[in-house]
Amino acid sequence: MSTFVFLFYSLVFCSEIRIASLDPASSQLLIALNLHNLVVTADDLSHSLPQLKDVATSSKGLVVDYEKLLQMRVSHVVAYDLGFTSLEPKLHQLEIDLILLKNQKVTDLVMNLESLNTRFQAKSNLYIQSIKEQIAALPKVQKNTSYVLQIDYSPNYVAGNNNYLDDGLKYCGLKNTVKTKGYPVWGKEEILKSQVDYVFIMSDVIKKHGKKTVTNYWLELVPGAKIKTIDADEFSRLTPSFLHSLQKLCDSLKP
């Protein structure tokens, strides 16, 4: 009898849970926890995630099709906290739970996985433990080495000191030259005043403006700096793949 009750509960639980993912990073976390079978609609980049093929599109930026969410009987919306807070009143009105994931520190990845694991009974404790071990094993290969991370070229947006990119590079032993929070614009004056050992440039910046143009710009201002390109797709989202890429970057900086 107890087995029947358990099976009945499992069927009811699974039938009630219908998840909409509003951004690629959230989709990747749900896949990592083997929860993709509960995802009924995903973000515009779902075509790059084979486990989520043939799903509809629920959002583009902050534009959410609430009617579609209702038609698909979505019970939960999962998204990184990147402006989606504004959706909460409307979703609450529609009796849809909004789960916002954090993305300011590397350890937020563990917290997000644990939250989703508990909420949706994913039973992925061993996987989450492996993520914790990967973070603990990140090699601190540099000491008192300064850097600046450029995320866009026109204007010069750089990564400040209050995000997971900054926090992740600390694990390599690197120190952010940018002292302000967020993603401030750096002019030539700020660059000239800085003492930068490494300049990390997102690959999409190189693709858009050309490696020679971007590299020469920095070398003219900080001639002693080492220029490295990092993969924008891998570093632009706080996911397990970001952690793997961070490990490779740390290893590449070994003296």
User: For residues 116 and 99, is the Cβ–Cβ distance under 8 A?
Assistant: yes
Q: Which residue has the tokens 């008192």?
A: 144
pLDDT at 187: 84
- pLDDT digits over 19-35, tens only? 988 888 898 999 999 99
R_g over Cα of the chain: 21
**CB neighbour burial string for 149-188, b if at least 16 within 10 angstroms, e if fewer:** bbbbbeebbbbbbebbbbbbbbbbbbebbbeeeebbebee
- pLDDT digits over 183-229, tens only? 888 888 888 888 889 999 999 999 999 999 999 999 888 888 999 99
Q: Any bridge partners for residue 230, and if so which?
A: 202
Q: Model-level pTM greater than 0.85? A: no
Which pair of structure tokens corresponds to residue 234? 């891998």
CATH class of 145-252: alpha beta
Q: Does domain 2-135 bear CATH number 3.40.50.1980?
A: yes
Which among 162, 24, 164 is positioned nearest to 80, based on CA atoms?
24
Res 79 pLDDT > 50:
yes
pLDDT at 105: 93
CA angle at 167 for the pair 166 and 172, rounded to the nearest 5°: 90
Every domain of the chain with CATH number 3.40.50.1980 lies at: 2-135, 145-252
